[in-house]
């Protein structure tokens, strides 16, 4: 497939070519049924078996314990910004019927534009009681950029929040929690109430399946859209602890906000994610990607490769900085493995950087419109070899354009 370029886009992003080739066959004939995957009933036994295998592929690779269900839905991360508020307010109301009439507090950690958006939706739906447990902008160099993961002493969690929310990888701003617990930029799990069923919610949209999830079992909910690491857009994966799958109608009778059926985790769990027609084609391609991941050594293998890919890019950024050509936007230690953001300094040099990269078959490197600059997205489908090609290009660009 020599017409294909390297797509460093932030999502929907690159998919592995062998999977796309296999998917083409499935479009014509899904597992020998003679019916294409986009045409087959989601209630057929063949699709049912495929879906439950997708669940096992996620469960086994991430080590999801039996306390947690894996559910599939639609609407992306954005629909979860709303669904988490409604389901967790319902849960809190059932746990504390005596508090009827009082709005519980919702704790949000804001580290970038996606968690900011989620907190804004919580304010819309959950009333005014949103506590910003930490705001990374207060710890930034200019007091307004999302350029860091806040230090552990920056967090103030509430006593009994209905949910505690954070975004593990901020796709636009390029900051990510460290997966090394002793790093200052790790998530401060030790500050949370120990030994209780914490309502801890994490947005893993842009880092799902890129590496193991620290403290997975302590989470009430982890959600992620498929369109970064595992498949096309249209599928949202939820890993939800079973005590968070609650009877939202019983909660509504106690005064909680009613939850649309398609957003209720109980509806999804009771129907085994088949309450309504799921995105069959996206599930199919995601299943092929997850199977390929497993065959290659699983999420642990990808974690190693992804770590090396990111290290190589950060290393060349250091060279670019020392030569006065590049400037990383994120504080050292807070940088994402997946989305690496930087500026090209000097008049007209950013456009030149993008144009020359494109000539070499490397596309979608332009930063998000809200912060500009360059963004390199290194999702699982980007190989180490492709990363090396980009790094070599950046190195040459720096050499040739140093003042
Ligand atoms: N959260 C993060 C971290 C994201 O990167 C995105 C999209 O890129 C979203 C949420 C929103 O996801 P969706 O577009 O699937 O609604």
Say which CATH number the domain at 168 has: 3.40.640.10
- pTM value surpassing 0.95: yes
Q: In testing the pocket of ligand 1, which one of 206, 230, 235, 369 has its CB within 8 Å of the most ligand atoms?
A: 206
**Residue 1: inside a domain, yes or no?**
no
Note whether 220 and 240 are within 8 A (CB).
yes
Closest protein CA for atom 5 of ligand 1: 171
Q: Are residues 257 and 381 in the same domain?
A: no
* pLDDT band, very low/low/confident/very high, at 56 (cuts 50, 70, 90): very high
Distance 100 CA to ligand 1 centre (A): 33
Distance 34 CA to ligand 1 centre (A): 35
Q: State residue 126's pLDDT score.
A: 76
Q: Are residues 153 and 231 in the same domain?
A: yes
**pLDDT, tens digit, for every residue of 160-194?**
999 999 999 999 999 999 999 999 999 999 999 88
**Residue 16: inside a domain, yes or no?**
no
Distance 193 CA to ligand 1 centre (A): 28
Q: State residue 195's pLDDT score.
A: 80
**pLDDT, tens digit, for every residue of 184-193?**
999 999 999 8
* pLDDT band, very low/low/confident/very high, at 2 (cuts 50, 70, 90): low
Weakest mean pLDDT among 100-104, 201-205, 273-277, 371-375: 100-104
Confidence check: pLDDT of 85 > 60: yes
Q: Are residues 363 and 265 in the same domain?
A: no
Q: State residue 189's pLDDT score.
A: 97
Confidence check: pLDDT of 1 > 80: no
Q: Are residues 315 and 258 in the same domain?
A: no
Strand segments, DSSP code E, in 40-193 are 68-73, 106-110, 130-135, 163-167, 169-170, 175-176
Q: Are residues 277 and 393 in the same domain?
A: no
Note whether 285 and 15 are within 8 A (CB).
yes
Percent of the chain with pLDDT over 90: 96
Q: Are residues 45 and 172 in the same domain?
A: yes
Is 203 a pocket residue for ligand 1 (Cβ < 6 Å)?
yes
Q: In testing the pocket of ligand 1, which one of 11, 73, 77, 377 has its CB within 8 Å of the most ligand atoms?
A: 77
Is 166 a pocket residue for ligand 1 (Cβ < 6 Å)?
no
Of the three residues 262, 294, 326, the one that is the final residue of a domain is: 294
**pLDDT, tens digit, for every residue of 291-304?**
999 999 999 999 99
Say which CATH number the domain at 387 has: 3.90.1150.10
Question: What token pair was written down for 183?
Answer: 């790093």
Q: Are residues 329 and 270 in the same domain?
A: no
User: Average pLDDT in the 232-256 region?
Assistant: 97
Question: Which region, left, alpha or beta, applies to residue 63 given φ > 0 means left and ψ of -120 to 50 means alpha?
Answer: left
**pLDDT, tens digit, for every residue of 348-388?**
999 999 999 999 999 999 999 999 999 999 999 999 999 99
Q: Is pLDDT larger for residue 14 or for residue 127?
A: 14
Q: Is pLDDT larger for residue 42 or for residue 101?
A: 42
Measured distance CA(1)–CA(3) in Å, rounded: 6
Q: State residue 152's pLDDT score.
A: 97
Which of 276, 284, 338, 334 shows the shortest CA–CA distance to 307? Answer: 338
Note whether 328 and 344 are within 8 A (CB).
no
Q: Are residues 372 and 310 in the same domain?
A: yes
Of the three residues 246, 262, 294, the one that is the final residue of a domain is: 294
Confidence check: pLDDT of 127 > 80: no
* pLDDT band, very low/low/confident/very high, at 248 (cuts 50, 70, 90): very high
User: Average pLDDT in the 313-341 region?
Assistant: 98
**Residue 119: inside a domain, yes or no?**
yes
Is 199 a pocket residue for ligand 1 (Cβ < 6 Å)?
no
Q: State residue 240's pLDDT score.
A: 98
Q: State residue 396's pLDDT score.
A: 98
Q: Are residues 60 and 74 in the same domain?
A: yes
Q: Are residues 253 and 347 in the same domain?
A: no
Q: In testing the pocket of ligand 1, which one of 205, 208, 232, 377 has its CB within 8 Å of the most ligand atoms?
A: 205
Residue entry with tokens 């997946």: 338
Q: In testing the pocket of ligand 1, which one of 76, 119, 177 has its CB within 8 Å of the most ligand atoms?
A: 76
Q: Are residues 184 and 330 in the same domain?
A: no
Q: Are residues 101 and 191 in the same domain?
A: yes
**Residue 146: inside a domain, yes or no?**
yes
User: Average pLDDT in the 240-265 region?
Assistant: 97
Which of 60, 68, 16 shows the shortest CA–CA distance to 223? Answer: 68
Confidence check: pLDDT of 339 > 70: yes
Task: Kindly provide the ipTM of the predicted complex, given to two decimals.
Answer: 0.99
Note whether 287 and 319 are within 8 A (CB).
no
Residue entry with tokens 């992003």: 13
Structural domain count, the chain? 2
**Average pLDDT, rounded, for the chain:** 96
Of the three residues 259, 294, 329, the one that is the final residue of a domain is: 294
Range of the domain at 304: 299-401
Is 234 a pocket residue for ligand 1 (Cβ < 6 Å)?
no
């Amino acid at each position: 497939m020599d017409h294909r370029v390297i797509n460093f886009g932030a999502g929907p992003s690159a998919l592995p070519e062998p999977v796309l080739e296999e998917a083409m066959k499935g479009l014509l004939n899904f597992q020998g049924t003679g019916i294409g995957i986009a045409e087959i009933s989601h209630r057929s036994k063949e699709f049912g078996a495929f879906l439950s295998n997708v669940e096992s592929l996620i469960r086994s690779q991430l080590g999801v314990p039996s306390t947690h269900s894996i559910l599939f839905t639609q609407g992306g991360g954005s629909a979860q910004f709303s669904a988490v508020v409604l389901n967790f307010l319902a849960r809190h109301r059932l746990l504390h019927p005596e508090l009827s009439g009082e709005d519980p507090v919702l704790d949000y950690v804001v580290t970038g534009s996606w968690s900011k958006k989620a907190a804004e939706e919580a304010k819309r739906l959950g009333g005014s009681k949103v506590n910003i447990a930490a705001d990374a902008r207060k710890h930034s160099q200019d007091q307004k950029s999302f350029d860091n993961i806040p230090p552990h002493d920056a967090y103030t969690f509430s006593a009994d929040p209905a949910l505690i929310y954070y975004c593990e990888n901020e796709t636009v701003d390029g900051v990510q929690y460290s997966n090394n617990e002793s790093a200052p930029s790790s998530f401060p799990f030790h500050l949370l109430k120990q030994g209780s069923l914490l309502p801890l919610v994490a947005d893993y949209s842009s880092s799902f399946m890129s590496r193991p999830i620290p403290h997975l079992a302590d989470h009430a909910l982890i959600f992620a859209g498929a369109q970064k690491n595992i498949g096309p857009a249209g599928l949202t994966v939820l890993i939800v602890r079973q005590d968070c799958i609650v009877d939202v109608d019983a909660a509504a009778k106690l005064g909680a906000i009613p939850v649309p059926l398609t957003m209720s985790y109980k509806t999804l769990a009771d129907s085994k994610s088949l309450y309504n027609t799921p995105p069959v084609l996206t599930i199919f391609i995601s299943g092929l990607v997850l199977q390929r991941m497993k065959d290659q050594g699983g999420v642990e293998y990808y974690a190693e490769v992804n770590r090396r890919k990111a290290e190589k890019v950060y290393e060349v950024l250091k060279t670019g900085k020392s030569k006065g050509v590049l400037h990383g936007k994120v504080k050292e230690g807070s940088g994402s493995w997946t989305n690496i953001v930087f500026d090209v300094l000097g008049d007209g040099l950013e456009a030149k950087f993008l144009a020359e990269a494109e000539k070499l078959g490397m596309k979608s490197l332009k930063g998000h419109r809200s912060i500009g600059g360059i963004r390199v997205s290194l999702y699982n489908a980007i190989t180490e070899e492709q990363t090396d090609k980009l790094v070599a290009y950046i190195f040459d660009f720096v050499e040739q354009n140093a003042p």
